[in-house]
Structure 1
């Protein structure tokens, strides 16, 4: 079944559109009602996986040549990837953008990813510094945003600030930026930060966990983002050894109220 929009004869060549979206999009649009989920999926996938017969034949020849050479799987995938990147077809707009070094995407707001998982990815110190460390040294990781948050100032608004507010309202300074008048030093020589200007708060992103399937990771994320702390040990207690229990019953129930207020 297909819904046909009623048109006046003079509008027979006008696509379906929405006035509000048209002002925001400022380009051609052709809107249709979706009645069949499967047809919608097929329509989108046909755009994502447009057939490129010449590219398929070229990649098959590259794969055959690579199989004949004595290379490992990593180098094999690297050669195939380079062949695809250098020979794939691109539209005129993308060609112009790449030749002129124009950004293919941009955002008016800064986006910050916050690591909340205990087993999250970490960056090690440079090899030049690791060589000078002893074999029993444990502090071999670079300080990320959570570590800088834990070493924030203990005065003013910083003391009661949660990690989400810290990441959204402050930015980390590097190099000569640390010499600016608005640079704020962190404790324990963990670097410098600067408060973002009003109206320029960053958008925070984080890994989402299922409350039913992974309750501990779910509640750790809530506490990590929205409960002020200086160490991870403060996200639990002796009487509330799990993140879920500490969230629901910690400090007489005030932890949940604090987290929910900051989250809102």
Structure 2
């Protein structure tokens, strides 16, 4: 970081990276995952002081008219919902219709809860269905994974890999290249060939507080299966016991493999630095944020 005295107010930068990035740089030296997360979150959660001042002025102006509590809350709600503090850069970008963000990766959320939120079928379908039909829900991503094509490359594919490397296609996209139909008429998928595989997101549970949900998430994401019954058994009735002690034969193999070995091997591909990040979260909850991190 050595520099000339006249450059003392310049942000830290790297000359070679600056030519490639061609935008502002403000490099900070960090030593651990906590500092990295703290640095990133401090940027995306900056306090909007101007908005707070604006709401204070609205409340102050209302005090002269002596409105009811209901009317006061209504005015504050309108002020909050219709106004937002923006930077000069964002104002210019919106005025000139410039792209506000760009990403090299798409992101997909995978529901893993046993009682995940579901959407019902559209009303036009419900009105034409028989009264005895109980399945009135739209299919979710786990359903589409279980109905993946009956082909060799899909047999030993876990749901994390399926979500990361394939996307659901609709309408005219179904006529594109590398499009495959799902079983049970659940739609079509297409392998991602442009760019990198998608980043997966999912609900995280504490191994100590919610062990069943924690191990259930691991099994659903990283153990190849086509039915929920393949994630438990009469001998191992819980997700935790099945993960720890069960062995299975994957399609195309005659050898029994430990479930935890299969899960951990697949997990390493999608959860980088997972233990360090979880430890960081625990430290944050126990000791509160370290302001000088």
Q: What TM bracket, shorter-length normalisation?
A: 0.7 to 0.9
Write out per-residue CA displacement over residues 215-235 of structure 1, whole angstroms, 9 at most, x where no aligned residue. 101110110001111111110
The structure whose RCO (Cα within 8 Å, separation 6+) is larger is 2
Q: Which residue of 2 aligns with 1:29?
A: 26
Q: Which residue of 2 aligns with 1:48?
A: 47
- Return closer, same or farther for 1:30/1:149 CA change in 2, 3 Å cut-off: closer
Query: Runs of 4 or more off by more than 6 Å in structure 1?
Result: none
| 1:111-126 alignment runs, 5 A limit | 111-126=107-122
TM-score, structure 2 length as denominator? Answer: 0.72
Write out per-residue CA displacement over residues 30-76 of structure 1, whole angstroms, 9 at most, x where no aligned residue. 85899xx9xx99xx59941424423431266579768455xxx9xx4
Q: Which residue of 2 aligns with 1:156?
A: 152
Structure 2: gaps (5+ residues): 248-255, 269-293
Structure 1: gaps (5+ residues): none
Give the total of aligned pairs: 247
- Return closer, same or farther for 1:191/1:31 CA change in 2, 3 Å cut-off: closer
Superposition RMSD in Å: 3.4
2:257 equivalent to 1:258: no
Q: Secondary structure at the match of 1:56?
A: helix
| 1:68-217 alignment runs, 5 A limit | 68=70, 76=74, 80-197=76-193, 199-217=195-213
Q: Secondary structure at the match of 2:196?
A: coil
Given that 2:160 and 2:221 are in contact with CA atoms closer than 8 Å, whether structure 1 keeps it comes out as yes
Q: Which residue of 2 aligns with 1:15?
A: 10
2:58 equivalent to 1:58: yes
TM-score, structure 1 length as denominator? Answer: 0.79
* Cα distance, 1:135 vs structure 2: 3.7
* Cα distance, 1:106 vs structure 2: 2.5
Given that 1:62 and 1:80 are in contact with CA atoms closer than 8 Å, whether structure 2 keeps it comes out as no
* Cα distance, 1:134 vs structure 2: 3.4
* Cα distance, 1:116 vs structure 2: 0.7
